[in-house]
Amino acid sequence: MDRRGFVGVLAGGLLIGRSMADAQPVGKVYRVGFLLGATADSVTSLFDALKAGLRELGYIEGRNLVIVSRFGEGRVDRLPELAAELVRERVDVIVTGTNFHVAAVKQATSTVPVVAIFVEDPVGSGFAATLARPGGNITGLSAEASSELWAKYLTLLREVAPKLARVGVLGQVASKVGFAQLEAASRKLDLALEVADITHPEDFDSAFTAMVGKRVTGLLVVVGPLTYQLRERIGQAALQHRLPSICNAKQFAEAGLLMSYGPNLPDLYRQAASYVDRILRGARPAELPIEQPTRLELTLNLKTAKVLGVVFPQSMLLRAEGRIE
């Protein structure tokens, strides 16, 4: 599903792969740090996508590449410590995820290049001066943070639940990712929000139960280290409480949510390898534009719809790039 907007001046050129013949000089071994706040097994597809992208560009583990990985195991408060560990490991570049991660790495270093993936509003968050010229040590691939996009998620929920009036929102409020834009969008659509804030994995059951107790009739999940790690439990809970649900990552629809609308996350991690390559070849993050996704995909979980008794409108079925049956 093509998007109307695209910020960045590379126009896709940054993402064009090179052949193995154009690989790095023989004998040089590069150290790439990888930091995410979830458990290692919950982000395997993302880690593998990054490594696949690096292989396509000629970086082979054990030959000219060492990947130093750190995972928060669901403890977001550990991210600053783990980021500092990567700096002490003298990595050449750090690849990381959303705003929580970038804030932790920014605290640990202002000199080691950082490739951020799926970061919301990098300029407003203080990570970059502009998208076209970040100006610091952070660049990468962003997620759009407009109220129009959050309104789209709510509108999609309302398409399958026309009587929707109160929406549960599950996420990590401390990240400040999306919540202000979501509140603005909900006011325009005359929808009430009930936010369930989780800061540790053990918060999930009580937070979800409290949210459901407010009589929500739909669920929107905000992607973050914890929600990504807990996506299977979120999918089960949404199904148990018969809540039509949406998130902006396909992996949540695959975990049982009713639908998702957003970029292909493994593709973004694969594309991030191009940033790593350019930095290792001497490019400065300050001069590498931060790109936004050019394509958002609608994925529908038909199995979940059957259990919930939801009938997707024909127009939505025609728009969907993915169906889980």
Distance CA 52, CA 208 (A): 36
Distance CA 83, CA 65 (A): 19
The answer to whether 50 and 270 are in contact (CB under 8 A) is yes
145-201: pLDDT as tens digits: 566 788 899 999 999 999 999 999 998 876 666 677 788 888 888 999 998 988 888
Burial of 278 (C-beta count, 10 Å sphere; 0-12/13-18/19+): buried
pTM: 0.86
A 10 A CB-CB count for 84 gives 16
71-96: pLDDT as tens digits: 999 888 899 999 999 999 999 999 99
What was the pLDDT predicted at 180?
74
What was the pLDDT predicted at 288?
97
Edge-to-edge strand ranges of the sheet holding 166-171: 192-197, 166-171, 218-221, 245-247, 259-262, 297-301, 322-324
Which residue type is seen at 114?
Answer: V
Give the E-state strand segments of the chain in sequence order.
Answer: 30-36, 65-71, 93-96, 114-120, 138-143, 166-171, 192-197, 218-221, 245-247, 259-262, 297-301, 322-324
Residue written as tokens 């932790």? 104
Map out the domains of the chain with their CATH numbers. Answer: 13-143+264-287 (3.40.50.2300), 147-262+297-324 (3.40.50.2300)
What was the pLDDT predicted at 174?
66
**CB within 8 A of 256, min separation 6: which ones?**
232, 234, 235, 236, 238, 239, 301, 304
A 10 A CB-CB count for 102 gives 28
Nearest residue to 205 (alpha-carbon basis) of 247, 236, 249, 242: 236
178 SS3 class:
coil
Which residue type is seen at 199?
Answer: T
* 156's tokens: 């999609």
Distance CA 245, CA 231 (A): 12
Distance CA 270, CA 174 (A): 28
Distance CA 196, CA 199 (A): 10
Q: Which residues of the chain have pLDDT under 50?
A: 1-23
